[in-house]
Amino acid sequence: MIELKNVSKYFQTKTGKNYTLRNVNLIIPSHTNVGIVGRNGAGKTTLMRMLGQIEFPNKGSIISSHSFSWPMGLSAGFINKMSARANIKFVCRLYGKNTQEILEIIEAVDDFSELGKYFDMPIYTYSSGMKARLNFGLSLMFDFDYLLIDETLSVGDARFQTKSKEALLKKIDSCSIILVSHNMKTLRDLCEAGVVIHEGKLEYFPNIADAIDAYHFINKGDTP
């Protein structure tokens, strides 16, 4: 399971502390595909970054025995002056891959991300979509208990989106996902349960349809 115990997260601003989470206590059961919904700026990405240990709570703790990917869809962790190839080698070494495994992962990510000549160019020359494709492809190469996905499936043209969804569905056979998305159909297709973020609080719903209904109630007038 994933347990949040008295978790608060804020960012210091000129007018004081801006809270995205305030004294949150929540338990998410293991082996559950979870969709996270909330208004823009509610703290969805911040929550994902904390689960991926890119950021940490100002107060409280997040406890789990599970392993989490870095958030797919965010470019955090890439070294901008290095190419995709060099970044992949670096990440593979961090995860203890041997030389043959590294070569196989590089080939697979190169093929999946469709970066062409940019694969050997510095990351800072990439568009946000190119970074997302690289991030997504690289994440698929590792075995995590949970994949953290932040809107990645909306990247690229319709063909690439279909390709990404098919790859993700195959990966879900061996892991669970936590997905942030504004696409309600994608959430319904991929997730069993949901978490709604609103005004610094989290509410867990065992049924994703109930989470979506709660989100639309908050945003009165929206339709799935």
Helix orientation angle between 99-113 and 128-139, rounded to the nearest 10 degrees: 140
Residue in 51, 9, 22 with CA at minimum distance from that of residue 34: 51
User: How far out from the chain centre does Cα 122 lie?
Assistant: 23
pLDDT of residue 166: 86
Tens-digit pLDDT profile for residues 79-90:
999 999 999 999
DSSP element (H, E) containing 96: none
* 5 in Cβ contact with 202 (< 8 Å): no
pLDDT of residue 152: 64
Question: What percentage of the chain's residues is helix, strand, coil (to nearest 5)?
Answer: 40, 25, 35
pLDDT of residue 23: 95
Beta-carbon neighbour count of residue 105 at 10 Å? 21
Domain boundaries, the chain: 1-69+147-156+174-224, 75-143
pLDDT of residue 7: 96
Q: How confident is the model at residue 156 (pLDDT cuts 50, 70, 90)?
A: low
CATH number for region 1-69+147-156+174-224:
3.40.50.300
Selected residue with higher pLDDT from 154 and 96: 96
pLDDT of residue 181: 87
Look over the chain and give the mean of its residue pLDDT values, rounded to a whole number.
Answer: 89
Tens-digit pLDDT profile for residues 77-119:
689 999 999 999 999 998 899 999 999 999 999 999 999 999 9
Specify the pairing of strand 34-38 against strand 176-180: parallel
Average confidence (pLDDT) over 194-210:
95
